Structure 1
Amino acid sequence: MITLDTVTRNYSDEVCIGPVDLTIPQGGITALVGPNGAGKSTMLTMIGRLMGMDEGAIEVAGKDVSCTSSKELARIVSILRQENSYVTRLTVRQLVGFGRFPYSQGRLTREDEQIISRSIDFLELGALENRYLDELSGGQRQRAYVAMILAQDTDYVLLDEPLNNLDMQHSVLMMKHLKRAATELNRTILIVLHDINFAAAYSDWICAMKEGKVVEFGTPEAIMREDVLTRVFNTKVDILQGPKGPMAYYY
C-alpha cells in the first residue's frame, strides 16, 4: 500500500501540488490521469523519492520514503521516468542487468542472471537481448527499460508515461505486459497515462488529478462517467460502451 498524508510541493505562489491525501491499494494497476500540468508526474516522482516534498509524508509498504535508506528503498520500489537517456553501445541484456544493481552492486551472480533472463523473456525480448539499444525500435527499447525495472524485483513499480511516443500497437502490447506483471508477478503498478481509455481498459483503479490535487479516485467504472471526466478535463465528454467496456470521446 502507498499512502500520502497531506503531501505538498510548492513551486511558486501560483503553482502548488497538494495537499494530497491518498491511499493506493496494494496489487493491480493504478493509473494517474488528468490534464497537462495536473501534477501526475510530480506526485509519482515524489513517491519514488526522486523529488522532495515541502510538507507531508509518503509511505510505501509501511516505509517512510523520506528516511528509509536508499539501498532498502531500492528493494521496495522501482521507478522509470519519462526521460530515458541511453548509451547506444549497451545491449538489451546489459541494460536489464542494471536492474540488479541494488542487490549485486555490479557483480552479477547466477541468481541475478536468472532474474535478468526471466525479465527479458517476460517482455518477449529474448531474440533481441544481444542487440544494441540504438538498433531497436522505440517500442522495443521501451520494453527493454520496463524489463530493467522488473528485474529490480520490487513489489512496487512506478512508471511515468511508458506509452509516450509509442504507436497504438506497441501501446496495447505494453499495457498487456504490465497487466500480466501485476497479476502474474504480484506487482503493484502506479502508472501515469494520458489516454483515459487505456486507463479504463487496463487499470484496476484510476486517480484523476487536476491543478495539483486529487479530484477523483475509484474503479474505472466509477471514473468513466461523463460528469466526472468533463469536470476533470474541462471539455465535453461522451461515454460510449465499447466491446471491452466504456470509452470516452472528447469534443
Structure 2
Amino acid sequence: MITLTNVRKEYNSDVAIGPVNLEIPAGGITALIGPNGAGKSTLLTMIGRLLTMDSGDITIAEHDITKTKSKDLAKIISVLRQENHFITKLTVRQLVGFGRFPYSGGRLTRQDEEIVSRYIDFFNLAALEDRYLDQLSGGQRQRAYVAMVLCQETDYVLLDEPLNNLDIEHSVQMMRHLRDAAREFGRTIIVVLHDINFAARYADYICAVKDGQMVSFGSVEDIMKDDLLTDIFNTKIQVIDGPDGLLACYH
C-alpha cells in the first residue's frame, strides 16, 4: 500500500498541491486523472521521491520514503518520467538492462540477463533488442522504456503519461501490456493518464485530481459518474455503459 498523509507542495502563494491524504491499495493499476495542471505528475514524482514535498509523509509498503536509503528504495519502487533523454547509440537490450542496476551495479549476471530477456519478450521487443534507440518508432521506444522500468522488478511502478506521443493503436497495446504486467507479475502500477476512457477500460482504481487537490478516489464505477467528471474537467460529460464498459462522452 502507498499512503500519503497531509502531503503538500507549495510553489508560490497561488500555486500549491495538497494537502493530500490518500491510500493506494497494493495490486492492479491505479490511474491518476484530471485536467492539465491539476497536479497529477507532481503527486507521482513526490511519491517516487523525485520531487521533495514541503510537508507530510509518504510511505510505500510501510517504508517512509524520506528515511529509506536510495539503494533500498530502488528495490521497492521504480519510476518512468515523461522526459526521456536517451542516448541514441544505446541498444534496446542495453536500455532494458539498466533496470538491473540497483542489483548488479552495472555488471549483469546470468540471472540479470535472463530477467532482461523476460521483459524484452514480454513487450515483444526480441526482434528489436539489438537496434539502437534512434532507429525505433516512438511506440517501440516507449515500450523499451517501460520494459526497463519493469525490469527493475519492484513491487511498485510509477509511470508518468506512458501514452504520451502514442497513437490509439499503440496506446491500447501499452495499456494491455501494463494490465498483463500487473496481473502476471503482481505489480502495483500507478499511471498518469490524460484519457478518462483508457483509465476506465484498464485501471482497477481511479484517483481524480483537480487544482492540486484529490477530488475522489475509488473503483471505476465510483468515479465514472456524469456530475463528478463534469465538475473535474469543467465540461459536460455523460457516462454511458458501452460494450467494453463505462465510457465518457463529451458534449
TM range (shorter): over 0.9
Aligned to 1:157: 157
- Return the alpha-carbon distance in structure 2 between the equivalents of residues 222 and 43 of structure 1: 21
Q: Does 1:129 align with 2:160?
A: no
Match of 1:117 in 2: 117
Structure 1: 5+ residue stretches without partners: none
1:241 and 2:241 correspond: yes
> 1:1-251 residue pairs with structure 2 within 5 A?
1-251=1-251
Q: Which ranges of 4 or more aligned residues in structure 1 deviate by more than 6 Å?
A: none
Q: Supply the AA of the counterpart residue of 1:181.
A: A
SS at match of 2:18: strand
Amino acid at match of 2:158: L
Scaled by the length of structure 1, the TM-score of the pair is 0.99
Structure 2 counterpart SS, 1:9: strand
Shift of 1:241: 1.8
For residue 249 of structure 1, report the CA deviation from its aligned partner. Answer: 1.2
CA distance in 2, matches of 1:27, 1:74: 18
Q: Percent identity?
A: 67
Distance 2:208 2:192 in 1: 10
CA distance in 2, matches of 1:36, 1:222: 22
The C-alpha deviation readout for 1:48-67, integer Å capped at 9, x for no partner, is 00000000000011101111
- Deviations along 1:199-238, one digit per CA (max 9) or x if unpaired, are 0000000000000010010101111110110111111011
Give the C-alpha shift of residue 130 in structure 1.
Answer: 0.5
Structure 1 distance, partners of 2:239, 2:59, is: 35
SS at match of 1:131: coil
1: CA distance between counterparts of 2:181 and 2:62? 22
Aligned length: 251
In 1, Cα distance between equivalents of 2:246 and 2:118: 34
State how far apart, in whole Å, the 2-side matches of 1:76 and 1:240 are.
38
1:218 is aligned with what amino acid?
G
Root-mean-square deviation (Å)? 0.5
TM-score by length of 2: 0.99
Report the CA distance between 1:250 and its aligned residue: 1.4
SS in 2 for 1:209: strand
